Chains A and B, each alone.
Chain A
Amino acid sequence: MPLDQEAFLRYYEVFNHRIYTYFWYRTGFRRETAEDLTQEVFLKAFQAFASFDCQRSFAPWIFRIAHNHLVNHYRGQRPTISLEEAPELPAPNRIDVEHRMEWERALRHLDTLPSDERDLLLLRYVDQLTHDEIADVVGKRTIAVRVAVHRATKRLRAVLGEKVDV
């Protein structure tokens, strides 16, 4: 197995589920669509692996590709996670009923935020990216991302009617 293929498969093992989660939240929890997009993104990333700077982090690179791929997929139509638009409530793996109800409630609160702020919060707290990595993905400066995340958090706190300690 060529070295680059082996290296990429290692990256794949680390990031396959994270990329799938990224698409799952942004395709209305459509499992098939998210899996298709995940496969396409990893194949695309593999072909472009030569341009990847090994000395830098893989996460922003692959998330950047996923972000662009999602934009192309919707062709200008912004992705949504609205519960109303979802064909069915997702059935994540091994999620209990109480946990699921709490998540549905949180999703409804999150759904009240503007889409860009919602997306930033997902990148930060669900996709577990740092501010620097988010800046790389969305193509903004780190400080701008940090401020935007802070504002989104404050807005979410206002929606929840409680003081949220960021």
Chain B
Amino acid sequence: MKRRIESFFAPFPTPTLSPERDRQIRAALLAAPTPTMPVPSWRPSIVPRFALAFAAVLIAVTSVSGFAYASSGVTRGDVLYPVKRTIERVEGVWQRTPIARVRFHSKLALRRFAELEMLLGQRVTTDRVSFIPVARAASSGYGNGSRHDPISLTASDVAWETSAAVAVVVEIADPAVVKEVTTVLIERQERLEDGLMRAARAVGIERVSRVEAIAQAIEGVREASTTTRVVAAEAAAAAARGVRDVRRTPLPRPGGPTPQSLDAVTIKQKIIEERSEALALGDDLGAVDGESGDAARLLRRVEQKISAADVALNAGDAEQAHRLLDGAIVLRKNAKHFVKVPERAEERQRGVQEDIVAVREDLADAEERLEVLRDTLSTSESLAGASELVAVAHEKLAEAARGLAAKEYDRAQTHAATAGLLIDRMVKEMDGVVERDDQTEEALEADVEREGGAPEERPAPTGASGEDEDDDRVDRDVRTPKDGGTAGGAAEKGSAGREGSESRRGRVKGQRESWDAMGDGATVVNPETGVRIEFDKEYLRPLAW
């Protein structure tokens, strides 16, 4: 027999609530506190859900990118730095007019400099980017660590953006606009040059390659500044002649074809002409006793640009070839400018010579002081850094001298300046050693006093009676030389009972120098009385006022 299952359950009764209980329940429900209204759950369809996720991601990306772009705190080595540079590249694509591009590159130069300041302010070590090559460079002292150094790279970026801005200036047609733009550019270039000089002073001398990178950046900015001034002068001259389009100012072709209509044959002809001009200028350089070093350097770049223009033309890129040729012409005129003023060259040579002599004298003084310290301190380990700096400073001076002989005055001056910076650091190094030595002595005296030993109970140092202040001062300043005592330089009166300099020997040993431990120079001012005290070349600092 077969029947549906529903028929099986058909006899099952479905009882109902009694009316009395039903009323009770209704009354209970009416008396119950009203719950809040049900909130219909919102179930977004798949499209709004994706839209929501997309919007959230977009907001997050925009926020992070905006922060990365706007913040000068995002520097090389930061995770967001590639984002920042990418946004800048995209921004650069939208700069269509030459004026906009000049402004853009100039702005980027300032931004790079702000990043450089930030990096120097943070005292960022190169370890953030790549530890090993920089550590190796630092350990060797003078290796090329700049390739991975954010400070060095950022300094190079400053120079690059500055040059890029100047390179676009030649594309501006209106001489009045050129004058206006170049005025702003020159002002900014001066600021950048000063800023880079400050950066070079602020940078830790332990990164010699970093100092050199900044020096190269300074040179790059100076070169860009020179070019800017030439372009500005030519634009002014063109404006005076009534020329409205100065884009082709380096190309003297009145009535000739417009830049847009220059075909490959014409460009090739111009390349040949420019090459002959450059060769002629090169011949002139040998006969002129002026700044031929700088002119020769510029001329080499002219030749490079001409070759690049030739290559671009052969590759079918006439526009690029034309641009390179224009750059070559500007540079050639710049080089010619140097050759035409031998009197300025002589003056420059004299100035560089004086710089080198002055730095050399400073180095000799510093070396003399180093020798005295080496004799008076018990160990020369703490002076190892200063000794290394002496060697590098000698090397830089030698390079400066070679640059002077080759009439490459910019290079000579840069090396001389670097040597000067090294000497400054060396002096600070030695000041730090002396200060720590004094602190060690004070700590030793405090220990002795705590132990109950009177200063006069200690054996008097060799060559010092310890009975009067003068003798006491001599003892302290002499630093108890190993040979039994040789008077060092004069210094301010020290605190009583400093004759225990024998005990200082071991305290200095093994201490690491600090670059910023002491002030500059040999003049110390008492902060309480305002009294200035001049010291001799040993630069010994008073232990107490």
Contacts and interface: CB of A to CB of B under 8 A. Distances in A.
Given A12-B29, A16-B25, A153-B5, A126 B35 contact: no
B4 to A, nearest CB: 5
B8 A163 contact: no
A93 interface: yes
B37 to A, nearest CB: 5
A33 to B, nearest CB: 12
A53 B6 CA distance: 31
Interface string B1-38: 11111101101111111100110111011101111111
A85 to B, nearest CB: 18
A81 B24 CA distance: 26
B98 to A, nearest CB: 63
Interface residues of B, number: 34
Given A102-B11, A126-B9, A162-B3, A49 B40 contact: no
Contacts of A39: 21, 24-25, 28
A17 B381 CA distance: 100
Given A4-B37, A17-B14, A106 B30 contact: no
A47 interface: yes
Contact of B17 (A8, A17, A54): A17
Contact of B26 (A9, A48, A51, A54): A9
Interface in A2-52: 2-5, 8-9, 12, 16-18, 20-21, 24, 31, 34-35, 38-39, 42-43, 46-52
Contacts of A147: none
B39 interface: yes
Contact of A42 (B25, B36, B37, B39): B25
A18 to B, nearest CB: 8
B17 A20 contact: yes
A103 B18 CA distance: 22
Nearest to B41: A53
B9 A163 contact: no
B14 A164 contact: no
Interface in B36-93: 36-41
A121 B9 CA distance: 9
A125 B21 contact: no
A53 B40 contact: yes
Interface in A142-166: 153, 156-157, 160, 162-166
A128 to B, nearest CB: 9
Nearest to A166: B5
Contacts of B17: 16-17, 20, 35, 38
A50 B36 CA distance: 6
Contacts of B21: 35, 38-39
Contact of A126 (B4, B12, B32, B38): B12
A106 B12 contact: yes
A20 B41 CA distance: 29
A46 B32 CA distance: 8
A79 interface: no
A99 interface: yes
Contacts of B26: 9, 12
Nearest to B43: A55
Nearest to B18: A35
Contacts of B24: 39
A97 to B, nearest CB: 12
Nearest to B40: A54
Given A4-B38, A43-B32, A164 B9 contact: no
Nearest to B30: A5
26 contacts: A5-B30, A8-B29, A9-B29, A12-B26, A16-B17, A16-B22, A31-B18, A35-B21, A43-B25, A46-B32, A48-B35, A50-B36, A50-B38, A50-B39, A52-B38, A54-B40, A106-B11, A107-B12, A126-B9, A157-B5, A162-B2, A163-B2, A164-B4, A164-B5, A164-B8, A165-B3
Given A1-B30, A4-B34, A162-B2, 15 more contacts: A3-B37, A20-B15, A21-B14, A31-B18, A35-B17, A38-B17, A39-B24, A39-B28, A49-B38, A50-B35, A125-B9, A162-B3, A163-B1, A164-B8, A165-B5
